[in-house]
Amino acid sequence: MTANKILFIVLDGISDRPSPALGGLTPLAAARKPVLDRLAKEGICGIMDTIAAGVRPGSDTAHLALLGYDPYKYYTGRGPLECEGTGIHMEPGMIGFRCNYATISREGIITDRRAGRIHDTAALSMALTEGVDLSGYGVEFAFRSGAGHRAALALRGEGLGHCVSSNDPKKDGVFPLAVKPLKPVAADEKTAVVCNEFIRQSTGILYDHPLNKERVKNGLNPANIVLMRGAGEMGHFEPFSIRYGISGSVISAASLISGIGSALGLTRVPVTGITGSQDSNITGKIAAAITELKTRDFVLVNIKGADESGHDGLAEQKRNFIEKTDTALAPLLDLPDCIIVICADHSTPCTIKDHSADPVPVLIHGDGVRIDDVAGFDEYLCAGGGLNRITGAALLPTALDLINKAHKFGA
């Protein structure tokens, strides 16, 4: 009778505030979503403060919280997690950065902070990996391409700090900034020097790279400078499998979420056609999750499109994406032996185009839950559910309890 698997479906940024474009409803309340409503009806529902009431979560801190890793203890900046997301294996103490390929003119002016939204930079990253030399500073590095114009840089070496500024001027038409230590500390000063040297050498390599010459010939902006930000020191993450005694996988188009999974030792499952956007292959994600559950105890699926619509302020698009997602979730209605948890990581109200601290709806479905009388899955109905209001930290332990993997405290 007892389920022995856990599936977390994180509908990124799906919850919202009342939307004038939808007659005062939220996109979730306005959407036709028979699958989510049926799961809510058959399960127990509630609202959830992913981190704490009144705290606006990032996607990174929220996912750490949902996976039971207190972000106030474990979060050390986005850089190291983005590095993991690109496939760089980060060890504790390494310094990680999020990077963009950008375009710089002969005069040294940033003319396009996204290098014409270039999307195949693997050859450039390979050239930097082979060409840049930081050994004079006793520093090793790894540089990998991410999605589109994105990339990540990791540094390893003695005496490197992580409190340094960015070289990104945040707008076009100006010179890039020098990376600077944020405090007058030798370790941060060393990292700043190393970063500036990386930028100097990499710009030289990129400027004359054949791929960039080809782009210029075709009237495209070349990717000839690296902008870096989000510096952080990789922390020590107790592996998920040791912490909970179960195996797990992560399915996400967003490299930040994949990176969090990697940092915890979750297996990353590639799925064709996933984009983190409206056109993503959600059906493929769900199919992959169901396959993965045959050999894994736990799978987390992140579905990003609703968050994107929220950031763009498009309530109708968000509602439509929710309806598309709902259709893709249909196979979950017949998933045996599994505790299904569906929630958001944070709200992304279309009215503010950013994350908010509004609690998110959550449902838990599967053997053993105390089924409440909530008849649908939205911010309002879930607030009346049997879970009442919980924190993200409580979610995975609750699911582990339902698959009998919780440990008794006391006798």
Which residues here bind its own copies, judged by CB under 8 A?
1-2, 17-18, 20, 26, 47, 49, 51-62, 71, 75, 78, 230, 256, 349, 351-352, 354-358, 368-372, 379-380, 383-391, 393-398, 400-401, 404, 406-411
- CB of 126: closest distance to its own copies in angstroms? 27
CB nearer to its own copies: give 136 or 409: 409
Q: Which two tokens stand for residue 225?
A: 């400078």
Cβ 387 to its own copies shortest distance, Å: 8
* Cα torsion angle, 265, 92, 89, 84, sign: positive
The H or E element that residue 407 is part of is: none
Owner of token pair 């490299």: 255
Nearer to its own copies, 53 or 333 (CB): 53
If the CB atoms of residues 226 and 362 are measured against its own copies, the closer one turns out to be: 362
Question: Helix, strand or coil for residue 406?
Answer: coil
Given the complex with its own copies, which of 286 and 362 has the nearer CB atom?
Answer: 362
**Rounded Cα–Cα distance for residues 245 and 119 (Å):** 39
Distances (CA, A) of 275 to 196, 281, 303, 334, 362: 33, 7, 10, 26, 24
Measure the CA–CA gap between 223 and 104, rounded to whole angstroms.
8
Q: What is the CA angle 53-55-57, rounded to 5?
A: 125
Beta carbon nearer to its own copies, 116 or 248: 248
Q: At what angle do helices 315-328 and 305-312 cross, to 10 degrees?
A: 170
Number of neighbouring beta carbons within 10 Å of residue 45: 31
Measured CA distances, 297 to 245, 261, 333 (Å): 9, 15, 19
Nearer of residues 61 and 86 to its own copies, judged by Cβ: 61
> Nearest approach, Cβ of 250 to its own copies (angstroms)?
17
Beta bridge partners of 233: 95
Q: Which of 150, 173, 144, 157 is nearest to 229 (CA)?
A: 150
Looking at beta carbons only, is 328 or 402 nearer to its own copies? 402
Q: What gap in Å lies between CA 383 and CA 374, rounded to an integer? A: 9
CB of residue 184 vs its own copies: minimum separation in angstroms? 23
Q: Residue 236 Cβ, how far from its own copies at the closest point, in Å? A: 18
Please say which residue, 294 or 370, places its beta carbon nearer to its own copies: 370
State in angstroms the smallest separation of the CB of 51 from its own copies.
6
Tokens 């014409």, residue located: 116
Give the shortest CB-362-to-its own copies separation in angstroms: 12
Smallest separation (angstroms) from its own copies to the CB of 377: 14
- Closest among 281, 370, 266 to 327, alpha carbons compared: 281
**What is the token pair recorded at 345?**
């990581």
